[in-house]
Amino acid sequence: MYRSTEIIQSFYQLNIPKEITRRILEIERDIMYKNSLYDWMHLSKECKQEKVSRFFYEDNHILFMRDIEAIDGDAEKLKDYRKTYHTILKSNQACSNHLKQVKY
């Protein structure tokens, strides 16, 4: 037997009108629907995050290992690497801004 049928029978035994029973079931159905949507969205976010972390680790692991080997635990080399990456990011941003302004 379905849960809603059991609820209807229980409310009928308590002499609760059908309209109230239907309204209660509608409210419960809406709450369950919203909860299931929340759960699916949460699972979807976790799956996307897992895919991103897997992609990030698998594809960029070798590159990062090379960077770590090049730094070799030296703080000065780390500062130089950070400056290099910062200048590359700035130049990429400048090129991006320039391309946004170009009209074809």
Q: Where are the domains of the chain?
A: 1-60, 72-104
Position 91 confidence tier, pLDDT thresholds 50, 70, 90: very high
Confidence (pTM): 0.41
Other C-beta atoms within 10 Å of 8: how many?
A: 17
Of the ranges 11-15, 16-20, 54-58, which one carries the lowest mean pLDDT score? 54-58
Strand blocks (E) in the chain: none
Q: What is the mean pLDDT of residues 54-71?
A: 78
